Chains A and B, each alone.
Chain A
Amino acid sequence: MANSITIENVHAAYGSVRVLEDVTITVNSGETVALLGTNGNGKSTLMKCVMGIVRPVSGRIVAEIDGEKHDLVGRTTEQIVDLGIALVPEGRRLFPKLTVEENLLLGASRRKARAQIKANMDFCFDAFSRLAERRNQLAGSMSGGEQQMLALARALMLSPRILLVDEPSVGLAPLLVSRTIDAIKQLKDHYQLTVLMAEQNFKQAVRIADHGYVIVHGKIAFEGRSAEELNNNDLVRKLYLGM
């Protein structure tokens, strides 16, 4: 069944500072969409608008979950997550003084996910064997790469239909970045997720993206309908490669 997100003409601001201007993005069912842009261009704010953490000044955000449409603007974050939309936030935001297992179990607090705890947990431990080894260790004592895996696994414990990932590569060594991106792809395929990923690391993000948007100063500067279109675009070259 269809799971998609449509963001239409969204404007957002922090006080008098405009952050997003007339942003329109479509994430179709089963797609991985990359939201590309360097720091401070509004990627995270857009993610926060979808999750109800920041309320847009105007515009519509509609999520289709299992074929049913829900208007997201005006709902609380808890309600949006409960619909089946999970966010892996920037900076991971684990519970540092809880164990790996406790972090994962908290992910399963969502009512619809409770029936699948065992299956989800088995899959997470299977996909990320390091987490299985460290299930009784405090989350705060793990390395950055392990923490990113835990953050992804915890989001999956929610049994989401749509997964939002904000800057998964931040603070990770290059090898770990590519592993994290691979993991997102693997999870997406296994759970047939619809994925929206904000990322600075253009090359890594484009590897798994079906299509993507480049956001500059809060506006969509370019829409690439395929990975090639993104790769062969002048704006992208200018922004990322300085050419």
Chain B
Amino acid sequence: MDFPFELLINAVVAGLLLGAFYAAVTAGISISFGMLDIVNIGHPAFIILGSYIAYYFNINYHIDPIVTCLILSPIFYFLGTAIYQVYYLSFEKRGQQSLRGLAFFFGVLFVTEVLLLLAFGVDYRYVATSYIGPSIHVGFVDLPLRMLVPCIGSLILFGGLQLFISHTFTGRAVLAVSQDQLALQLMAVDPIRIKRIAFGVSIAVAAMAGAFLIIIQPVEPSVGREYIGRVFAICVLGGMGSMPGTLIAALLLGVIESITATFYGPSWAPAVSFGVLLLTLAFRPSGILGR
């Protein structure tokens, strides 16, 4: 029997497209969990919230979800700074962030889900845009625009975040803040301000991921739970706090899932991707690009 070469290439390409989207979903976690040590388990809830707001404006005013979420992300930034302030004053300042902080973000996750349920119901919702149906064909490779547009969007988002982290004073302070807060104060930088900004950015990024999510698949209020395990896995696999590592890990996981789903069936995909995570942790505990 001939090896299904075309099938493999298509699976890899589909995996890369999916992986880029995973990267956008993980980017916010990579900042809050990877750089700030804040276990924001509620992150997917903000992504879903972004999806629903994009849905609302798409259905009622025919606005493109990406445009909606671009406008939405500054608002999400301020929402994020406000949530961090509550988290800081209630938990971090008193040194109770590890368990109570986790419970807090679980609460945020459930409250957001329930509010969305009450507002929109349990049905799957989707958006209508010109690029959801068609595909580009390059030789025998299929590039559905529904996947390609979020992929390009994610890569731009990632490039922007990487520039922010590595080339601005605030970005470098974000990298340093979990290592030594007093040392940061001795550099005339207020660590709480840095964390507030970084957390705001992570939530702003969630808005963009929300737009990509609802372009890729229909959304219902608890769909974010599918992503919780996967995003934390990508974050750890890539190396905590490394944006390039996160991107590589997300692409890798996308490709692995896609190949597994194509050749062995979709139900094996999570098992294989978490298997890769376990092996990575066994042989390279700091992740692909961890320091």
Contact = CB atoms under 8 A, between A and B. Distances in A.
Given A97-B291, A102-B172, A106-B172, A158 B187 contact: yes
Interface in A75-108: 76-78, 81-82, 86-87, 89, 93-98, 102, 105-108
B188 A158 contact: yes
B188 A95 contact: no
Given A105-B172, A106-B172, A96 B179 contact: yes
Interface in B167-187: 169, 172-173, 175-176, 179-180, 182-187
A53 interface: yes
Given A93-B180, A109-B169, A138-B291, A98 B185 contact: no
Nearest to B177: A95
A193 interface: no
A81 B291 contact: no
A95 B180 CA distance: 7
Contacts of A87: 186
Given A82-B188, A109-B189, A158-B188, A93 B175 contact: no
A86 B184 CA distance: 12
Contact of B188 (A93, A94, A105, A110): A110
Given A109-B169, A158-B188, A89 B179 contact: no
A81 B179 contact: no
Contacts, number: 69
Nearest to B175: A98
A51 interface: yes
Contacts of B185: 53, 76-78, 81
Interface residues of B, number: 17
A108 B173 CA distance: 11
Nearest to B190: A78
Contacts of A110: 187-188
A87 B184 CA distance: 11
Which of B169, B180, B183 counts the most chain A CB atoms within 10 A?
A: B183
Interface string B184-199: 1111111000000000
Contacts of B180: 93-95
Contacts of B188: 78, 81-82, 109-111, 158
Nearest to B241: A97
Interface in B201-237: none
20 contacts: A51-B186, A76-B185, A78-B185, A78-B189, A78-B190, A81-B188, A93-B180, A95-B176, A95-B183, A97-B291, A98-B172, A106-B172, A107-B187, A108-B169, A109-B172, A109-B187, A109-B189, A110-B187, A155-B186, A158-B188
